[in-house]
Amino acid sequence: MRVNVTVNGVQREADDVWPGESLLYVLRERLGLPGSKNACEQGECGSCTVYLDDVPVCSCLVAAGQAEGREVRTVEGLASDELHPVQQAFVDKGAVQCGFCTPGLIVAAHDLLERTAEPTDAEIREALAGNLCRCTGYEKIMDAVRAAAAKKAGVV
Amino acid sequence: MITGGIGESPLRPDGSLKVRGQYAYASDLWLENMLWGATLRSPHPSARILSIDTSAALAMPGVHTVLTYKDVPGENVYGLKFQDTPVLAEEIVRYQGEPVALVAAEHPETARQALKAIKVEYEVFDPLLDCELVAHSPEVSPLHPGGNLVRYQRIVKGDPDATADVVVSGVYEIGMQDQAFLGPESGLAIPEDDGVHLLLATQWLHVDQKQAAKALGLPVSKVKLTMSGVGGAFGGREDLSIQVHACMLALRTQRPVKMAYNRLESFFGHVHRHPAKMYYEHGATSEGDLVYVRARLYFDGGAYASKTPVVVGNGTTLSVGPYNVPHAHIEGWGVYTNNPPCGAMRGLGAVQPTYAYESQMDKLAAALGMDPADLRIRNAMSEGSTTVTGQVVDFPAPVAELLQRVKDMPLPDASTSNILQLPGGASNTTHGEGVVRGIGYGVTIKNISYAEGLDDYSTARVRLEVIDGEPVATVHTAAAEVGQGLNTVQQQIARSELGVQQVILHSTDTDVGDAGSSSASRQTYITGGAVRNACRAVRAKLQEMAGTSEELTSQQIAAVLGSAVIEETREYHHRRTYPLDPENGQGNAHVQYGFSAHRAVVDVDTELGLVKVVQLDCAQDVGKAINPEAVIGQIQGGSAQGLGLAVMEEIQVADGKIRNPSFTDYLIPTILDMPPMNIDVIERPDPHSPYGVRGVGEPPTISATPAIANAIRAATGLELPRVPIRPEHIVEEH
């Protein structure tokens, strides 16, 4: 089947899509956007998180056909020439090690800060509880989200 | 003025690409005409293959080839320590998940369907599962020609029959932990120049190359390996997974072939941490001085040897911990069973005994009426101490200081009524009723680098030239950046040694000499040493050209060099180690030790058995922090893996089969599980290592687990002899 989807503001189409393919597969293997990651492909790790019509979803759990005619924003669509403040904070605070969880965490943290300008630590933890990271122990991810929130709020 | 040198914390060179989603991991590789490979695995832990019929699979549209053991071009056997593992099973399968056949197809789903169409007839046997039983009757039902004993090691120090005023004993078990790196096993094999080029995620390119060439029947020069982005490793990428399989499919089809496991397959596609059963007896004077330790350690290696011999070596030599113990009798067994194969994981062979001896130290403290931290400090080893193998510690060993530091760190506030911070969290399971708090300690000793006589050296090639008027250094090694920050460290060393700001990292491949493995906390030490040596050779040439022994500024370097290029390749070998005496286990087996101490504070809901780790503090000696922020990152991440083993992580095996091969059922810590940490990094340089560095990555994983277990025991008064400690252990025993 053919899937028409707007990805990062650009109208895209994918042909010969097998109906069982996930949105994650189409993004990674058919549209050249491997930024969303394939760590578990069962909705447990959050590494494939993308916006689907402004709602963050695990793209591994969305059938490609369900994205027909809708808007998808991936980690590749968050930066312009410069990094988004959330991305910059992850780099600056050492929140990236192997980085495989990072794209999903960036989208999840981006979404949190869109909804909650100055989240408490408890709110950050609840918001990111669906994203597994195996390298960092999360402490520097907390630092990064705090820093990005402060920067967005104009505190620093 | 050069910035970003040794002792600073420059940002990692791949950070920006990683946050943009543009860093190319092995599973992101893609070529226009590539095929997808898939692996058929045995459903049985023990069986004979009676027949394999691939005809229906081969006939499916979109399927390009189906391969079995008959198609292995070279020797159908490999292994890190013993050559005992088939590339594809021939006659016998020895564990559930053992590879039996391969498919290459146009689409991954076609490949999966083709696997289902392969007909394999098995004669199923009762699996051999009891590690302790096997250890004492290794000739019964041998899984391999030499029997089921992979390694036995005995260590005797002083009087093995010593007696003491106060004696405590215990039997401790540790479950099978998974590395659970987030980037599944992946690679892309491309037929090239009468050979093959494999792009992949691994921990050691050259050992993969050597094993793959032998199995492929090709000279090493015809098997080129290039590192792709690695999504974590933690030991789980030391053994082969897709390497030979992807190359076989590519060579047969003459098309590029991509293999990428999903999470389910990943649980079967790599080795795990050895589960263990450990019998310990500690004897001490009534004042609290350790007199003796007697221990028997049983490690279940599963179907193939992998790193089991090393686990027995590390496990026995490190079995009494970082303590002065005058008398010891230690025995360790590593055996074959039909359980999942076990091998390398962060803290190799030290995680299991540390959990046991630190449990014993708390038990001893209770028997003596002493504070558990004070008992540890009283017995702590120090520089000049002699280990159970008779090795004199000839470098700093500030064990007592590490313990004192975590003991002195601030404690968290008393338990709150905020449900988000109580066990159960947002599940709203308690408002504080039934919740008790406990504090526990754990300290460890871990050998750094390979041991028992191995020369695990590294190689670095450094090139210096002028580009656009500025001196630029290029560093080329085969050392695996697995997320730990090794590439940053290589840049820092080159900047400091050469006085050059711009340091480019050449792609990591087999066109340069061996770097050894990114394991055993060894790369900053060993590859760091190789980069240092190569840089110093380049600098010597440069100073010769300049006719000076003075340090040169960037501008002077550019002027001296002009259009010339200096390139030097150097190795670094650590000081020699020696095998253990087979009879009494004596010998200078280790290069260096790392030490860390943890203090855990937990709240336990005794009615539901839920545990909340409230605070987890750590002090570690790192010799010299090349990149202090990266060191902190290693301690935080390592501690989280230790927390996972303490309270949630276990591959549950029943009848030789994995029951929970998913992130739904194999739980790793989330951001809600991981508490804030106080961390003290201290630097007592090792006079034998480059810059005084001490391996960093493993110790914090090891000492976190017993600290948390001891805190739960302190809170509940329960014995809790097994980790991970699950809710039913707390509720049923309470």
A11 and A34, same domain (yes or no): yes
Mean per-residue pLDDT for B216-233? 98
Give the residue among B249, B294, B264, B71 at the shortest CA–CA distance from B658. B264
A121 and A70, same domain (yes or no): no
> B454 falls in which pLDDT band (50, 70, 90)?
very high
Q: Which residue of A has its CA nearest to B426?
A: A126
Is the minimum CB–CB distance between B670 and chain A shorter than 8 Å? yes
Q: Cβ separation of A137 and B639 shorter than 8 Å?
A: yes
Residue B460: strand pairing partners: B570
Q: Which residue of A has its CA nearest to B676?
A: A139
Is the minimum CB–CB distance between B629 and chain A shorter than 8 Å? yes
Query: Is residue B138 assigned to a domain?
Result: no
On average, the pLDDT of chain B sits at 97
Of B12, B15, B670, Cβ closest to residue A132? B670
Q: Cβ separation of B25 and A20 shorter than 8 Å?
A: no
Kindly state the tokens that stand for A75: 């980690």
Q: Tell me which residue has tokens 């053919």.
A: A2
A13 and A67, same domain (yes or no): yes
Q: Tell me which residue has tokens 């980690």.
A: A75
Domain count, chain A: 2
Chain B positions touching A21 (Cβ under 8 A) are 109
Q: Tell me which residue has tokens 């041991």.
A: B451
Chain A positions touching B27 (Cβ under 8 A) are 34, 37-38
Q: Tell me which residue has tokens 């990674």.
A: A28
C-beta of residue B464 within 8 angstroms of C-beta of residue B500: yes
Q: Cβ separation of B20 and A87 shorter than 8 Å?
A: yes
- Residues of chain A with pLDDT below 70 are 155-156
Q: Which residue of B has its CA nearest to A107?
A: B19
Domain of residue B386: give its range.
276-451+581-733
Q: Which amino acid is at B159?
A: D
In the predicted model, is pLDDT for residue B418 greater than 90?
Answer: no
Residues sharing a CB contact under 8 Å with residue B168, sequence separation 6 or more, in sequence order:
B281, B282, B360, B363, B364, B367
Q: By CB neighbour count within 10 A (0-12 exposed, 13-18 middle, 19+ buried), where does B431 fall? A: exposed
Query: Is residue B175 assigned to a domain?
Result: no
The tens digit of pLDDT for each residue in B546-600 reads: 999 999 999 999 999 999 999 999 999 999 999 999 999 999 999 999 999 999 9
Mean per-residue pLDDT for B347-355? 98
Is the minimum CB–CB distance between B426 and chain A shorter than 8 Å? yes
B257 and B320, same domain (yes or no): no
Which pLDDT belongs to residue A128? 98
B611 and B493, same domain (yes or no): no
Q: Which residue of A has its CA nearest to B267?
A: A40
Mode of pairing for the β-strands spanning B342-343 and B272-273: parallel
Domain of residue A137: give its range.
85-153
Kindly state the tokens that stand for B310: 């090393």
- CA–CA gap between residue B302 and residue B299 (Å, rounded): 9
Query: Is residue B660 assigned to a domain?
Result: yes
Q: Cβ separation of B485 and A97 shorter than 8 Å?
A: yes
Tally C-beta pairs within 8 A across A and B: 186
- CA–CA gap between residue B714 and residue B111 (Å, rounded): 53
What distance in Å separates residue B240's CA from the closest CA in chain A? 19
Residue B570: strand pairing partners: B460
Of A42, A131, A138, Cβ closest to residue B674? A138
Strands (E), B116-161: 119-124, 149-157
B563 and B597, same domain (yes or no): no
> B139 falls in which pLDDT band (50, 70, 90)?
confident
DSSP letter string over B484-507? Answer: SSHHHHHHHHHHHHHT-SEEEEPP
- CB burial of B24-42 (b: ≥16 within 10 Å; e: otherwise) equals ebbbbbeeeebbbbbbbbb
The percent of residues above 70 in pLDDT, for chain B, comes to 100
Domain harbouring A36, CATH code: 3.10.20.30
A89 and A35, same domain (yes or no): no
Helix (H) or strand (E) holding B718: none
Task: Kindly list the strands in the beta sheet with B166-174, ordered across the sheet, starting from the edge strand earlier in the chain.
Answer: B149-157, B327-335, B290-300, B276-284, B166-174, B722-723
Query: Is residue B137 assigned to a domain?
Result: no
B82 and B214, same domain (yes or no): yes
A69 and A7, same domain (yes or no): yes
Domain harbouring B481, CATH code: 3.30.365.10
Chain B positions touching A88 (Cβ under 8 A) are 19
The tens digit of pLDDT for each residue in B30-85 reads: 999 999 999 999 999 999 999 999 999 999 999 999 999 999 999 999 999 999 99
Domain harbouring B110, CATH code: 3.90.1170.50
Which pLDDT belongs to residue B734? 56
Chain A positions touching B421 (Cβ under 8 A) are 122
Kindly state the tokens that stand for B265: 């397959």
Q: Say how many CA atoms lie within 13 Å of B423 toward its Cβ.
A: 22
Chain A positions touching B664 (Cβ under 8 A) are 42, 44
Give the residue among B258, B240, B185 at the shortest CA–CA distance from B29. B258
Q: CB count, 10 Å around CB of B476? A: 23
C-beta of residue B38 within 8 angstroms of C-beta of residue B100: no
Q: A84-88, B159-163, B194-198, B426-430: lowest mean pLDDT where?
A: B426-430
The tens digit of pLDDT for each residue in B458-511 reads: 999 999 999 999 999 999 999 999 999 999 999 999 999 999 999 999 999 999
B554 and B611, same domain (yes or no): no
Chain A positions touching B28 (Cβ under 8 A) are 28, 34
Which of A76, A97, A118 finishes a domain? Answer: A76
Domain count, chain B: 3
- CA–CA gap between residue B79 and residue A63 (Å, rounded): 40
Which pLDDT belongs to residue B414? 85
Mean per-residue pLDDT for B3-28? 98
- Write the DSSP symbol of residue B405: H
- CA–CA gap between residue B198 and residue B248 (Å, rounded): 11
Phi, psi for A151 (deg, rounded to 5): -65, -45
Q: Cβ separation of A128 and B16 shorter than 8 Å?
A: no
CA A102 to chain centroid, in Å, comes to 8
Q: Tell me which residue has tokens 């790793």.
A: B668
B563 and B505, same domain (yes or no): yes
B437 and B306, same domain (yes or no): yes
Phi, psi for A2 (deg, rounded to 5): -105, 140
B296 and B443, same domain (yes or no): yes
In the predicted model, is pLDDT for residue B733 greater than 90?
Answer: no
B447 and B464, same domain (yes or no): no
B539 and B678, same domain (yes or no): no
Which pLDDT belongs to residue B417? 74
Q: Say how many CA atoms lie within 13 Å of B636 toward its Cβ.
A: 29
The residue count of chain A comes to 156
A8 and A72, same domain (yes or no): yes
In the predicted model, is pLDDT for residue B179 greater than 80?
Answer: yes
* Among B residues 222-251, those touching chain A with beta carbons less than 8 Å apart: 229-234
What distance in Å separates residue B618's CA from the closest CA in chain A? 13
> B27 falls in which pLDDT band (50, 70, 90)?
very high
The residue count of chain B comes to 734
Is the minimum CB–CB distance between B434 and chain A shorter than 8 Å? no
Alpha helices by DSSP H, B119-180: 131-136
Q: Cβ separation of A44 and B662 shorter than 8 Å?
A: yes
The percent of residues above 90 in pLDDT, for chain B, comes to 97
B360 and B489, same domain (yes or no): no
B120 and B36, same domain (yes or no): yes
Which pLDDT belongs to residue B645? 98
Task: Please give the C-alpha separations between residue B218 and each of B73, B155, B209, B210, B477, in angstroms, as whole numbers.
Answer: 8, 42, 10, 10, 24
The tens digit of pLDDT for each residue in B466-478 reads: 999 999 999 999 9
